[in-house]
Chain A
């Protein structure tokens, strides 16, 4: 086996292999750095928003300024709020040319098998991902069904009444400092409305997964699933996302009405200087099901705890969270389930992998309110540590105000099993291949829930992340 020094040297080489890439530096409009009420007015002017939204933003800014930084999670002291551009309107014009993109980035695209059409956009060469013909025909179909699927800015313009009814109701600006920040400066994201009884068969975003509006740093997503309707929304991609500023703070609000179903899948791979602080929450009414599938790779710090508030009898919430923490990274992820009605059920499965001194924390809240009789919840968190320098912690908070409930909590921390490693190596796999295979197997319960093309890319990404880890 390779010596520890060999491993460190190789890991070092891997760390230097930078595959982030820049967005074009040419913009139609770019507000100055920093944040105050004047900037808010500029944003609102640019967007030609209704007065109520402008006011909402101003109010949110005041809340943001008045709230202290959270001190309970990851270390956020590296964020300089004055050194950030809060609003950039992307240009339609092309930025750099493909020839200017460094070879290492092109190689990463090759190795992940990112489709040609998406590469240019991801590299900041094309301004807009050329949607495939199939997407346009899908959009025709959705239109006939009354499904709305737009970027959030357009959603507000074209469907102000629905928008206003739900916007900010699940996550008010006062929820936390970063929700307030997003509420003040949000731009982009998706607006989805699925009318009563309509089932959207094809995951939204699968054919349309990259577009300039969706890649903002303060995007805001609002999804409404009416009674008996269902939808699967997928965001992100496995290619590393380079942000022009190092703060990403999104808000996602979801309302699932009686007997509706919603699944929200995220795969994100931010470049390793980004603070990724996201508030995601869904309310599920009677008999409704809400599922979060959340994959966090990349970033410097991630704090993200998707939540499901079960507010009607027999509502069901599920959170499947995966975090991969490498050198210098802290993934503080988990989930929250709130049982607010009788016979509600929930499941949280969290899996984390730490290597090269990375740190992964599970932070979860399970709350059963008085009167939520017959509720059931299971929480399982498994951590895999790939070396002795890496770290994993578990912070499970449980508040139960009702007697008649069933709750289970299991947590495990393990290292790569030596017998598995030897077994695989005896079949010709190198130590690195064998370890990678064990890691892939560890997260398979999540990967198998992903749409096919994401699952394939996710497995490749894990392999890429593992390359050079072991001598």
Chain B
């Protein structure tokens, strides 16, 4: 059975505030499917991505998020990652002093269960000895860096520190390739890329796509959809999914603009204001 992420009547507010950002989101993403989620600035797309991953700044007030039928709302972000969720950030965070390879080795070791048991017998062993073996890890990392067009020198660089916008996005894809999630949310992974970088990123997504991966691709633009073919397109507006359809919906949206959505879905009071 393919894995399934179900978002049900989800309402989310900013923690320590009354600001409600998500106002009843319904969406289902299964392994093997590619969904594009399009919507204007400030409509709540990133909030949805964060809420799925368990960002502490957002509070679910109603509804549920289920992975394979079980609610994940009580799980820490790392536990959600362990269950096969991944979020490619719109703005990847720099962590100074932490090398990419050190970070990724720890991440992979957690996700793949290496760290569940002590290194030797019942003793904890030397700190770090329960991580994925260095040699194996390095071989896999270097192979994937080549495959996803990330220069090998980045292994020793500090995570996202001083990376250009395009480099950050490529490294997000690399991390996704290493962590092999079941369901990935990609928040504007196509933004801020020049045409070549866009192609590299899109190629990366296509390499990873397949029966074992479900993708929720958040984007503003039709252009990435020229490379990555979604099975479903959703329009997000004012904290909700307001329209769903096939790839043709993206084209219509590109042609008519968000104004078209606004006119249909704004509350009357707002339209006249």
Give the residue name and chain of the B residue nearest to A423 (CB): B93
Judge whether A427 and B55 touch: CB under 8 Å: no
Stretch touching chain B among A53-61, A92-100, A108-116, A334-342: A108-116
A428 within 8 A of B: yes
| CB-CB under 8 A for A437 and B126, given A422-B56, A428-B179 | no
Point out the residues of chain B lying under 8 angstroms from A1, CB to CB: 56, 76
Q: In the bound complex, what is the Cα–Cα distance between A240 and B64 (angstroms)?
A: 49
B189 within 8 A of A: no
In A404-449, the 8 Å CB interface with B consists of 417-420, 422-431, 433-434, 437-438, 440-445
Q: In the bound complex, what is the Cα–Cα distance between A431 and B82 (angstroms)?
A: 14
In B35-49, the 8 Å CB interface with A consists of none
Nearest-Cβ distance from residue A214 to partner chain B, whole angstroms: 25
Nearest-Cβ distance from residue B83 to partner chain A, whole angstroms: 10
Judge whether A111 and B124 touch: CB under 8 Å: yes
Judge whether B110 and A430 touch: CB under 8 Å: yes
Judge whether B92 and A427 touch: CB under 8 Å: no
A107 within 8 A of B: yes
Judge whether B106 and A429 touch: CB under 8 Å: yes
Q: In the bound complex, what is the Cα–Cα distance between A464 and B103 (angstroms)?
A: 17
Point out the residues of chain A lying under 8 angstroms from B179, CB to CB: 427-428
B96 within 8 A of A: yes
Q: In the bound complex, what is the Cα–Cα distance between A426 and B184 (angstroms)?
A: 12
Contact of A419 among B53, B93, B98, B102 (CB under 8 A): B93
Q: In the bound complex, what is the Cα–Cα distance between A192 and B238 (angstroms)?
A: 72
| CB-CB under 8 A for A107 and B124, given A437-B103, A444-B98 | yes
Contact of B96 among A425, A441, A459 (CB under 8 A): A441
In A235-286, the 8 Å CB interface with B consists of none
Judge whether A425 and B77 touch: CB under 8 Å: yes
Point out the residues of chain A lying under 8 angstroms from B107, CB to CB: 424, 427-429
Judge whether B128 and A423 touch: CB under 8 Å: no
Give the residue name and chain of the B residue nearest to A439 (CB): B97
Judge whether A111 and B111 touch: CB under 8 Å: no
Q: In the bound complex, what is the Cα–Cα distance between A427 and B93 (angstroms)?
A: 12
Nearest-Cβ distance from residue A195 to partner chain B, whole angstroms: 38
A199 within 8 A of B: no
Contact of A111 among B56, B78, B106, B127 (CB under 8 A): B127
Contact of A113 among B56, B96, B126 (CB under 8 A): B126
Q: In the bound complex, what is the Cα–Cα distance between A441 and B161 (angstroms)?
A: 11
B2 within 8 A of A: no
Contact of A112 among B57, B92, B96, B126 (CB under 8 A): B126
A14 within 8 A of B: no
Judge whether A424 and B124 touch: CB under 8 Å: no
Point out the residues of chain A lying under 8 angstroms from B82, CB to CB: 428
Point out the residues of chain B lying under 8 angstroms from A460, CB to CB: 126-128
Q: In the bound complex, what is the Cα–Cα distance between A431 and B75 (angstroms)?
A: 12
Q: In the bound complex, what is the Cα–Cα distance between A424 and B106 (angstroms)?
A: 10
Q: In the bound complex, what is the Cα–Cα distance between A308 and B107 (angstroms)?
A: 42
B137 within 8 A of A: no
* 0 or 1 for each of A151-186: is its CB under 8 Å from B? (1 = yes): 000000000000000000000000000000000000
Q: In the bound complex, what is the Cα–Cα distance between A107 and B124 (angstroms)?
A: 8
Judge whether A425 and B78 touch: CB under 8 Å: yes
Contact of B127 among A112, A438, A443, A445 (CB under 8 A): A112
Q: In the bound complex, what is the Cα–Cα distance between A418 and B78 (angstroms)?
A: 14
Point out the residues of chain A lying under 8 angstroms from B80, CB to CB: 426
Give the residue name and chain of the A residue nearest to B94 (CB): A420
Judge whether A442 and B97 touch: CB under 8 Å: yes
Give the residue name and chain of the A residue nearest to B124 (CB): A111
A377 within 8 A of B: no
* 0 or 1 for each of B221-248: is its CB under 8 Å from A? (1 = yes): 0000000000000000000000000000
| CB-CB under 8 A for A110 and B78, given A420-B93, A428-B107, A428-B111 | no
A350 within 8 A of B: no
Question: Which of A112, A418, A437, A440 is the most central at the interface, judged by chain B CB atoms within 10 Å of its CB?
Answer: A437
Point out the residues of chain B lying under 8 angstroms from A418, CB to CB: 56-57
B154 within 8 A of A: no
| CB-CB under 8 A for A427 and B56, given A107-B124, A110-B125 | no
Judge whether B76 and A425 touch: CB under 8 Å: yes
Judge whether B110 and A433 touch: CB under 8 Å: yes
Nearest-Cβ distance from residue A300 to partner chain B, whole angstroms: 25
Judge whether A423 and B110 touch: CB under 8 Å: no
Q: In the bound complex, what is the Cα–Cα distance between A282 and B184 (angstroms)?
A: 57
B256 within 8 A of A: no
Nearest-Cβ distance from residue B161 to partner chain A, whole angstroms: 9
Point out the residues of chain A lying under 8 angstroms from B89, CB to CB: 423
Judge whether B127 and A427 touch: CB under 8 Å: no
Point out the residues of chain B lying under 8 angstroms from A107, CB to CB: 123-124
Give the residue name and chain of the A residue nearest to B111 (CB): A428
Contact of B126 among A110, A429, A430 (CB under 8 A): A110
Nearest-Cβ distance from residue B72 to partner chain A, whole angstroms: 13
Point out the residues of chain B lying under 8 angstroms from A289, CB to CB: none
Point out the residues of chain A lying under 8 angstroms from B96, CB to CB: 441-442, 444
A190 within 8 A of B: no
| CB-CB under 8 A for A428 and B95, given A111-B126, A441-B158, A463-B127 | no
Judge whether A445 and B56 touch: CB under 8 Å: no
**Beyond known contacts A424-B107, A438-B95: 18 more, CB 8 A cutoff:** A111-B126, A422-B77, A423-B92, A424-B95, A425-B78, A426-B80, A426-B81, A427-B111, A429-B78, A430-B78, A437-B95, A437-B102, A437-B106, A440-B98, A441-B95, A444-B98, A445-B97, A460-B126
Binding site for A on B (CB under 8 A): 53-57, 76-78, 80-82, 86-87, 89, 92-98, 102-104, 106-108, 110-111, 123-128, 158, 175, 179
**A to B CB contacts below 8 Å, 12 in the list:** A113-B127, A420-B95, A422-B55, A423-B95, A426-B78, A426-B87, A428-B108, A429-B107, A437-B95, A437-B103, A437-B106, A438-B98
Binding site for B on A (CB under 8 A): 1, 107, 110-113, 417-420, 422-431, 433-434, 437-438, 440-445, 459-460, 463-464
